[in-house]
Amino acid sequence: AAAHGRRREKEREEREREREREREGGRAASRKGLGLALRPKPRVRRRARATASTSTMRVVFIRHGESQANASKRLGIRRTSERLRDADLTRTGETQARDLRAYGIEPDLVVVSPLRRAIKTALIGFKEDSSADWICHPGLQEFGGGLPENVARPVGALAKDLGHFTHFERIDFGLLPTPWPGMSASTADHRRGRDGCAAFVEWLRSRHEALVAVVCHHNVIQSLLAGVYWDRIRNAEPILCTFDGAAFRHHTDGAAFFGTDLGLGLQAAPASSSASVRLDCGGGYVAVVRREARALRRELLRREGRKRRKQMQRAAGCALALRRVSDGAAAPLVEGADFSWLRDGDVVELVELQVTATAAATAAEEEEEERGAENATAGAAAGVGEGAGGGGGVAGDVSLLPV
């Protein structure tokens, strides 16, 4: 009996050891399976598409210098005259184009409209020894109204007029179709313009350059930057943007854009709320306050009712007060004001507008009204006044408009 009991105990211990070995084997198998599951999968290297959509492209839009069509009233020429077909630059326009060189913009690619005034602006405004590529894109041709100034001419005619520029021969006209509908006045309409802008954006997505200068026209820039840029599009003044392959974004800080201060100024832009107008200020760019005050005032006038707007358009001057959003510091937005309290990246908002009402418009306002074809709203130059916290005002009947 004792021997039988020892044998039974030995068999029981053997079975326990067997079960323990099975449990250890299961845990080892589980650990192996878990290790396989957690092991990083081999990466498949894919060649990245070297397009503008994979990186942000910097784009500088430039409207051509003053053309003969822009100055037609001063020159005594009807806008419908064939003398203005593919209008040339005036002497003022050539000077404006020459002043572009002072900005020191050195693009990797220059894209021009097929119209003479845009090509000539680019040829004058950029250095002959630049290493940039030059391309003429048909989608940048001006549109609207079927006016002779927006009707293009053959490349041979352009070469005859502009061939004395040594870098004219560098322009690639290969994108212009044959026959080219842009040489017919009947096709110089808004539909062609919209299609052309869409084609240009699609083409720009395929480019690899880091900095692109686009020299074209008012309506083209307005269409491309709709909802992005609200200020007046002036002759031969750079508009800084970035392009991520999907949309353009306007930039006001030239130092951040180019890495150096080009003196391009801050720009006025209405905020998402219709109750205020905000400016994104870059330090050192508030010297062009007079121009921006006029732009802000035009925006406020646009928001007023028609009757009220007509009354305000007859104003002799206005004063606008700025307030920094972060701490409420305020100062009048007038020429020569001390803006040392502003820092790079500060966001300021317009807090009030003071207007002196008079019976007659100033000469500057009349000039603005005459430029209705350029989509400019009438406005007067900024006058001297006190800010929101200054307790002062403007002489005469004052209308105070909080915004």
245: left (phi over 0), alpha (psi -120 to 50) or beta: left
Scanning the structure block, which residue is given the tokens 């009354």? 311
Q: How far apart are the first and last CA of the chain?
A: 108
Paired strand residues for 214: 61, 111
Whole-number Å distance between alpha carbons of 157 and 85: 12
Scanning the structure block, which residue is given the tokens 């409420």? 328
Distance (Å) of CA 238 to CA 65, 102, 313: 11, 11, 28
Q: Which residues carry a binding-site annotation for substrate?
A: 63-70, 117
CA nearest to 354, candidates 390, 328, 329, 307: 390
Whole-number Å distance between alpha carbons of 37 and 269: 54
Coil, strand or helix at 73:
helix
Question: And the tokens for 81?
Answer: 């005259």
Contact 276, 363 (CB under 8 A): no
227: left (phi over 0), alpha (psi -120 to 50) or beta: left
Q: How far is CA 56 from the centre of its chain?
A: 13
CA nearest to 320, candidates 288, 341, 349, 359: 349
Q: Compute the chain's Rg from CA coordinates.
A: 33
Contact 320, 350 (CB under 8 A): yes
**Range 314-349 burial, b when 16+ CB lie within 10 A, else e:** bbbbbbbbbbbeeeeebbbbbeeeebeebeeebebb
Q: Which residues carry a binding-site annotation?
A: 63-70, 117
